[in-house]
Amino acid sequence: MLPHKQIEARLHSAVRAVLPDADLAGVLVRPCPDAKFGDYQTTSLMALAKARKSNPRQLATDVLAKLDVAEVCERVDIAGAGFLNFWLKPSVLQAALTDAASGKHLFFEPTPQPRTAVIDFSSPNVAKPMHVGHIRSTILGDSLARTLRLLGHRVVTDNHIGDWGTQFGMLLVGWKRELDAAALQADAIGEMERIYKKLSAECKENPATLEAARQELVKLQGGDVENLRIWREMIALSQVQFDTIYGRLGVNFDHTLGESFYNPRLAGIVEELVAQGIARESEGALAIFFEDSPQLKDQPALIRKSDGGFNYTTTDLATLAHRLETWQPDEIIYVTDGRQQLHFQQIFAGFRKWRGGKAEGGKQKAEIKFAHVWFGSILGEDGKPFKTRSGETVKLADLLDEAEERAFKVVSEKSADLPEAQRREIARVIGLGAVKYADLLPNRQSDYVFSWDKMLALSGNTAPYLQYAYARIRSIFRKAEGTPSIQPPIPSIQLGQPEEVALAKQLLTFGLTLEAVAEEYRPNFLCNYLYDLAGRFTSFYEACPVLKAEPEVRASRLALCELTARVLRQGLEVLGIEVVEQM
Ligand code: ARG
């Protein structure tokens, strides 16, 4: 067991001895934010004391009296209003590093309680290009899926593409009247976007066009063979372009069940909601009302329009029901921009009214965790929403091309001697990594400014900096001929210098960082962790000679280099970012 898990287990026993009925799930051990005060910390006792209206410092004192961590810690302090700070024994740190060097773990362990999580992310709309707004959902969702999987959870990824709705009326009129077959061949989404824009402008001017679009939509909904054929073609053509982008980004989905998949269920769901008194009429439409909720009491959610059409909400309720029946998840995660916050509050509250919110099939299953993981906007350097020079939304494919192109310049300046094909491949990895990392690093709820120069810089908290740190470690092994990685006999790790200790301690908190990412849906924790790790590695490498050291110290330091490289590579992989051996 990793040392922090041991501390946590002992802490749980001590808390149970003092408060037999306490909920231990929230009693956690985390890295101490300031190394001056210890290696690990728990702040959980304060919440326990608060819930019982007792004195947190007294609770900390009582728990400490029952706490037996002598095997792992050399010291435990009570601090502040009732924290406990833990100091690891040097021998425990050294043993954990030696275990990692022998391949027993990479500072994380699979969870003893695997959950099933459905992650709904990316979800672009048919016949429209994926734009820069979809990048955040795609990249955040993908890194959450990777993190949860690495920790041993079951993950189901589902791309809820927008393949149904009123826009298809206009698209059908446009397709039949305006379609340029050659343009469709060359750039299908571009052509569909053109006809959509043309028709939507015309519908605003001309009531006859609007009526024509309405009729095409009614025909599609009624199962008209020709309209269904065209609609399916639009979906297939869009999917080809989406898949090209997903391929470049290395993103996979287990399922792509678009909005249309749920269509057959919508009428039944609306009937059920009305019969149960959850939805009622309002100005000719039907809506769910939330009188009992302080936040939502003035925000009814429409589930059927006055013309009989169904809403985004209706589809999402059907989607939720389907996911619960099909995958029995413990957790459903939606990754969209912040403007959909109200929508998801309504979905979660509406669903609990309707189905109670317990997992299906399970005996004593807990409440399902619904999470709306939302994010802010990407801004241009002028602080306004990020646009092309001519004021258009930035298409994702163009953005990725530009990233690779710019990275190619950087790589060619730095490593002019490498063959072009290799520079191209490095540029692909660096360019895509830079874009992804720039998106994952900021707190997801804040807006961020898109800056090529910043994200491609080789210094500072960027992907190229971390990729470079990795490649530099690999070059040490190239120089240490005959020492490609850690080789048996496994060296015992020696932590003689303070820089070695600092690096070792940072390595040891990799797993805790992954858990925090999964708990709070925040990959930025991992970005900052990796940046710190690279920094501590640099200090270590400057202070401690590796290749020139005495054989035993050399073997131990090479192992520290190797473990740092492994954690960097694994950490970046969880962020969806590749590495290269040489840059
Ligand atoms: N297609 C929507 C958009 O582009 C996102 C869908 C999010 N997922 C969901 N289940 N509503 O904004």
Distance 141 CA to ligand 1 centre (A): 13
| pLDDT, tens digit (0-9, with 9 covering 90-100), for 231-261 | 999 999 999 999 999 999 999 999 999 999 9
Residues pairing with 35 in the sheet: none
Q: Is the pLDDT of residue 363 over 70?
A: no
| pLDDT, tens digit (0-9, with 9 covering 90-100), for 61-72 | 999 999 999 999
Distance 60 CA to ligand 1 centre (A): 46
Report which secondary-structure segment, H or E, holds 379: strand 378-379
Q: Which of 426, 388, 393 is nearest to 408 (CA)?
A: 426
At 383, is the secondary structure helix, strand, or coil? Answer: coil
Band of residue 488 on the pLDDT scale cut at 50, 70, 90: low
Query: Once rounded to an integer, what is the mean pLDDT over residues 262-285?
Result: 95
Distance 443 CA to ligand 1 centre (A): 21
Residues with CB under 6 A from ligand 1: 120, 123-125, 160, 162, 316, 319, 334, 336
Distance 316 CA to ligand 1 centre (A): 9
Q: Which of 463, 461, 458, 454 is nearest to 434 (CA)?
A: 463
Distance 336 CA to ligand 1 centre (A): 7
Closest atom of ligand 1 to 344 CA is 11
The preferred substitution site among 118, 119, 121, 123 for testing ligand 1, maximizing ligand atoms within 8 Å of CB, is: 123
User: What is the second-level CATH architecture of the domain 3-88?
Assistant: 2-Layer Sandwich (3.30)
Average pLDDT, the chain: 94
Tell how many helices (H) and how many strands (E) occur in the chain: 21, 13
| pLDDT, tens digit (0-9, with 9 covering 90-100), for 375-423 | 999 999 889 989 888 888 888 899 999 999 999 999 999 999 999 999 9
Query: Do 333 and 373 meet the contact criterion of CB atoms below 8 Å apart?
Result: yes
The preferred substitution site among 134, 340, 343, 375 for testing ligand 1, maximizing ligand atoms within 8 Å of CB, is: 340
| pLDDT, tens digit (0-9, with 9 covering 90-100), for 202-215 | 999 999 999 999 99
Residues ≥6 apart with Cβ < 8 Å to 238: 124, 126, 127, 128, 161, 188, 189, 192
Distance CA 192, CA 189 (A): 5
Distance 313 CA to ligand 1 centre (A): 11
> What residue segments make up the domains of the chain, in order of their start?
3-88
| pLDDT, tens digit (0-9, with 9 covering 90-100), for 410-441 | 999 999 999 999 999 999 999 999 999 999 99
The CB density around residue 262, as the number of other CB atoms within 10 Å, is 22
Closest atom of ligand 1 to 343 CA is 11
Evaluate if pTM is beyond 0.75. Answer: yes
Cβ burial, residue 128 (10 Å; 0-12/13-18/19+): middle
